Copies of this chain bind each other. A is one copy, B any other.
Amino acid sequence: MPSSTPHPADSNGSPPLEAGTPAFSPLYQQIKGLILQSLQSGEWKPGEAIPSEMELAARFRVSQGTVRKAVDELAAGNLLVRRQGKGTFVATHAEHQVQYRFLRLVPDSGDQASEGPAERRILECRRTRAPADIARLLAIRSTDAVVQVRRVLAFNGTPTILEDLWLPGAAFKGLSAEQLADYRGPTYAMFELEYGVRMVRAEEKIRAVAADAAQAELLDVSAASPLLSVERLAYTYNDTPMELRRALYRTDTHHYRNELS
């Protein structure tokens, strides 16, 4: 039930009549918000189908075209996936499609397929208090608990990524090194399944840095080798930051791929 603003039933042109600026919001945006709420609340789980367009239209008392536009935008933002003839599904990190949805590092050969899943080596997994800078980025208090994970990812036996994950402790109670090591598939898929945390978008800041001694050893490169520093802040619904990831990529056999338009 969208808040009535433009509707053919409303033959009168009554304005929204809210406080301040009317802030006109199209019907389909309101529908989008409602669908988002259902996603957030877990009414439909990752990988599952949401109700058909007709059903949603009936539920929200709008035309099919209007829910279509709402779903279109959610699909454009990778929150939903449409499959003709089958239905519309909640996006997930668990589908092998592109293996790692947020990882832009690809082998120079371009042959992504020849490269099996990354071998994971967990170096550390501990709960601690959030350092000030981490807390700020995760939008939590610096007295709050966080889980810190350090690990190395290797491709075909070559250690390629060294990364630290920082997760809000409240949402990731019980996360262990074993769980991180054992889960088959993307870590973000495990987060969906085990903790109900769905990463929806992310921002990355990329730099070139020189490896220090410890980093060099872990990545099996010589000291001071140039490495790609990738700081990723990943968000769930509602623009809530849920993971800070600071990674170092070897770029001697791989590169970070980006598309601009």
Contacts and interface: CB of A to CB of B under 8 A. Distances in A.
Overall SS of chain A's interface? strand
Contact of A259 (B202, B228, B249): B202
Contact of A208 (B201, B203, B208, B258): B208
A209 B229 CA distance: 12
A138 B204 CA distance: 29
A255 B200 contact: no
Contacts of A104: 258, 260
A102 B256 CA distance: 16
A258 B232 CA distance: 9
Contacts of A255: 205-207
B259 A201 contact: yes
Contacts of A201: 259-261
A85 to B, nearest CB: 14
Given A260-B104, A261-B78, A226 B203 contact: no
A208 B251 contact: yes
Contacts of A249: 208
Interface in A180-230: 200-210, 224-229
Q: How large is the interface on A (under 10, 10 to 19, 20 to 34, 35 or more residues)?
A: 20 to 34
Contacts of A203: 257-260
A224 B258 CA distance: 25
Nearest to A199: B260
Contacts of A256: 205-207
B209 A208 contact: yes
Interface of A: 76-78, 101-102, 104, 200-210, 224-229, 232, 249, 251, 255-261
10 contacts: A203-B257, A204-B259, A206-B228, A206-B251, A207-B228, A207-B251, A207-B255, A210-B210, A226-B226, A232-B260
Sorted nearest first, the 6 A-B pairs with minimum C-beta distance are A207-B251, A208-B226, A208-B208, A206-B256, A226-B226, A201-B261
